């Protein structure tokens, strides 16, 4: 038998977090260009630009990110091509051609599929009202979804070098928009973004159970045990925590 998602006290803690803490706890909304997927370096560069109060020079971006100028320039051009960044000429300051200033466009701040959050909230409400065990039902639905996602991922990477089941699940969540990254422990994954953050805040028992189920189903499809998997919603500033105990 799989472990339960979490006990009631944990979700009472979530309610307390929602009421008494800022939403800096837990992941941030997923930001992604419609119809496209950004690599992690480009997504982070875009976040840097989104945080700036005014257009920013290439030199400043190099200093902030610690990345080589040629690499930053390449990412900026790709973001411009996707319509997420615009550039303008910097004010002239002496001889020579003025440099460029970069800023995030309005498109980069938009949620490309805001209706999904509303749909997720509505479905969570229906599950909560109609199922005698809504958390378990949500997790089982997630398991089925996770297995399907893992099968698709295995087919797409059939010729690639085999990966550990833990890394495969991390990659899967990363591709889904969770901006997954390693935690302090080898068996911990930090989910720093959430494609359904609004729904997760309103119905964490249902939405987060689905996400835990995805991890369990994917692990099973990748041939690993799913015992001990645990998702801790809004567990720390900037992330939810996914624990993959007993996986390799």
Digit-coded pLDDT (tens) for 136-185: 999 999 999 999 999 988 776 654 554 688 888 998 998 888 888 888 88
Under a CB-based contact definition with an 8 Å cutoff, are residues 47 and 85 in contact? no
- What is the arithmetic mean of pLDDT over 52-71? 92
- Work out the percent of the chain whose per-residue pLDDT is above 70: 76
List pLDDT tens digits, range 106-140: 766 555 455 566 778 888 889 999 999 999 999 99
Closest CA to 27 of 173, 244, 187: 173
166 shares its domain with 190: yes
pLDDT score recorded for residue 13 = 44
Closest CA to 145 of 211, 203, 200, 189: 211
pLDDT score recorded for residue 81 = 85
pLDDT score recorded for residue 20 = 44
Cα–Cα distance measured from residue 201 to residue 244, given in angstroms and rounded to the nearest whole number: 23
Q: Which residues pair with 28 in a beta bridge?
A: 193
Q: Is 35 part of any domain?
A: no
Q: For residue 2, is pLDDT > 60?
A: no
23 shares its domain with 49: no
46 shares its domain with 73: yes
How many domains would you assign to the chain?
Answer: 2
Cα–Cα distance measured from residue 173 to residue 241, given in angstroms and rounded to the nearest whole number: 12
pLDDT score recorded for residue 16 = 46
Q: What domain range is 21 assigned to?
A: 8-30+112-244
101 shares its domain with 131: no
Domain boundary among 109, 124, 142: 109
Question: What angle, 0 to 180 degrees and rounded to 10, lies between the N-to-C axes of helices 8-20 and 204-221?
Answer: 120
- What is the arithmetic mean of pLDDT over 55-61? 93
Cα–Cα distance measured from residue 192 to residue 160, given in angstroms and rounded to the nearest whole number: 27
142 shares its domain with 55: no
pLDDT score recorded for residue 96 = 66
pLDDT band at 218 (very low <50, low <70, confident <90, very high): very high
- What is the arithmetic mean of pLDDT over 34-43? 70
């Amino acid at each position: 038998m799989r472990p339960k998602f979490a006990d009631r006290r944990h979700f009472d803690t979530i309610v307390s977090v929602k009421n008494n803490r800022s939403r800096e706890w837990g992941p941030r909304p997923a930001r992604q260009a419609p119809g496209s997927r950004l690599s992690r370096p480009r997504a982070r560069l875009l976040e840097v630009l989104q945080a700036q109060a005014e257009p920013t020079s290439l030199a400043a971006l190099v200093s902030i990110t610690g990345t080589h100028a040629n690499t930053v320039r390449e990412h900026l051009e790709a973001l411009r091509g996707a319509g997420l960044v615009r550039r303008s000429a910097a004010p002239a300051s002496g001889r020579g051609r003025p440099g460029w200033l970069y800023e995030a466009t309005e498109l980069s701040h938009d949620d490309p599929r805001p209706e999904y959050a509303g749909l997720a909230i509505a479905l969570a409400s229906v599950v909560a009202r109609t199922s005698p065990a809504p958390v378990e039902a949500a997790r089982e639905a997630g398991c089925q979804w996770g297995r399907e996602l893992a099968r698709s991922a295995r087919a797409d990477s059939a010729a690639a070098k085999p990966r550990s089941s833990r890394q495969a699940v991390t990659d899967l969540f990363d591709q889904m928009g969770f901006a997954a990254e390693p935690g302090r422990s080898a068996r911990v994954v930090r989910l720093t973004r959430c494609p359904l953050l609004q729904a997760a805040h309103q119905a964490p028992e249902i939405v987060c159970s689905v996400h835990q189920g995805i991890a369990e189903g994917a692990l099973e499809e990748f041939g690993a045990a799913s015992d001990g998997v645990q998702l801790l919603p809004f567990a720390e500033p900037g992330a939810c925590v996914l624990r993959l105990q007993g996986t390799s």
